Amino acid sequence: MKKITQLLLIAGFILAGQCFVYGQYGKIARQHSGNLTTFTDLTLALAASVNGDTLYLPGGPVYASNATITIDKSLTIIGAGHYPDSTVATYQTTIAGTIRIVTGADGGVLCGVKCNDLWFGTSASNQDVINYRIMRCNITGELYPSFTGQSLSQNILISECIINTSSVWTSNYFTTVLLEKNIIHVDPTYYYGGSGLFNNCIFYNGYVTFFTNSAYNTFNNCIIIQSGPNSNLSIGSTLTIFNNLLVSYILPTNPSVTYNGPYFFNTITKEPTTSTFVNANTTSFAYTNNYHVQATSNGHNAGNDGTDVGIYGTPIPYKESAVPFNPHISSKTIGTVTTPTGTLNVDIKVSAQDR
């Protein structure tokens, strides 16, 4: 009960700071050993934090006095979320600067924010991170899981994220990295080096080739949307693609598919996107898209675990609206005038989350 009360106080304090200082930056709450302190500057909040702390970011833009936001401690950093339908009460949590996750951040979590550039490392000497999770974020800028392309990071999880960028993603030599239930749209091309495991992702492929520069990755139960007239699928020779990868076309005449390697198994092809999803834009990600697989689709229950291909497969599917795992502010009602006794009526509803 004490923990729940404390979390509700944090949520209410952040929202109150946001509402009463409208047009300015909201307050960042740092939780340390049961104590709560607040900041209006993410740079200062990070500097004051120690391993094991939790930072709760407010909805709306998060202020940081340094353009580069360096995370070098084992912290849990949680925003209010980024889907418009689930952040009506709080607004989207947005970070404008470049986020750099560096050595020392081992065991940390970043969840529920919309950000621009996100890199692992600022140099070759600090790009290796162990056991880091990036969850339910919207990454709109550059995404580089290493600084030099030769990271020795281990056990990196990127899950239930929107990766919607025009930049090339390069990474090599990961010991283990899992990308699961992400929606990924990158033009002009994809470049995934290293040994990544992609499970139940959705890819928008708007360019001529796909995965030709990718090496030694494995793709399971994914959906590839070929969203342009020149989006021929050309797959590199060192990839393993199996267990019902759904390749979905939107054109009346399907583009060609070429594959140069031996590890291409049990793949579904030549299904129109309109027959795949309940309702999804065929050229790019949109918050209004519904990526549930239709019951009549060839991808329904076609994954290697018996569930759907795409983000709503697996025993624990993509969480609707990517709501963060902490208690979530679902609605607010704030009076415009005080009562005769000087009381301002505020009604905040917070919903618990089971994951």
Q: How far apart are CA 332 and CA 347, in angstroms?
A: 6
Please check whether residues 63 and 210 belong to one and the same domain.
no
Please check whether residues 195 and 144 belong to one and the same domain.
no
Q: How far apart are CA 154 and CA 130, in angstroms?
A: 5
pLDDT(200) > 90:
yes
Average pLDDT over every residue of 73-91: 94
Please check whether residues 355 and 292 belong to one and the same domain.
no
- 318 located within any domain: no
Local confidence band at 274 (pLDDT 50, 70, 90 cut-offs) = confident
Q: How far is CA 260 from the centre of its chain?
A: 31
User: Total structural domains in the chain?
Assistant: 2
Q: Indicate whether this model's pTM tops 0.95.
A: no
Q: Which is more confidently placed, 91 or 348?
A: 91
Average pLDDT over every residue of 38-53: 97
Q: How far apart are CA 220 and CA 233, in angstroms?
A: 17
Q: How far apart are CA 155 and CA 130, in angstroms?
A: 6
Average pLDDT over every residue of 199-223: 71
| C-alpha Rg value of the chain to the nearest Å | 21
Please check whether residues 333 and 243 belong to one and the same domain.
no
- 37 located within any domain: yes
- 315 located within any domain: no
Local confidence band at 350 (pLDDT 50, 70, 90 cut-offs) = confident
What domain range is 136 assigned to?
A: 1-172+325-355
The mean pLDDT value of the chain amounts to: 80
- 320 located within any domain: no
Residues 105-120 have pLDDT tens digits of: 999 999 999 999 899 9
- 295 located within any domain: yes
Per-residue pLDDT, 20: 38
Per-residue pLDDT, 212: 52
- 289 located within any domain: yes
Please check whether residues 131 and 256 belong to one and the same domain.
no
pLDDT(269) > 80:
no
Please check whether residues 129 and 86 belong to one and the same domain.
yes
Please check whether residues 88 and 212 belong to one and the same domain.
no
- 206 located within any domain: yes
Per-residue pLDDT, 152: 83
Q: Which is more confidently placed, 188 or 89?
A: 89
CB 278 within 8 A of CB 246: no
Per cent of the chain over pLDDT 70 is: 70
SS (H, E, C) 241-310: EECCCEEEECCCCCCCEEECCCCECCCEEEEEHHHCEEECCCCCCCCCCEEEECCCCCCCCCCCCCCCCC
Please check whether residues 18 and 153 belong to one and the same domain.
yes
Q: How far apart are CA 204 and CA 157, in angstroms?
A: 21
Local confidence band at 22 (pLDDT 50, 70, 90 cut-offs) = very low
Among 20-29, 47-56, 72-81, 242-251, which is the least confidently predicted range?
242-251
Please check whether residues 258 and 196 belong to one and the same domain.
yes
- 319 located within any domain: no
Please check whether residues 167 and 37 belong to one and the same domain.
yes
Please check whether residues 306 and 334 belong to one and the same domain.
no
Please check whether residues 187 and 71 belong to one and the same domain.
no
Local confidence band at 223 (pLDDT 50, 70, 90 cut-offs) = confident
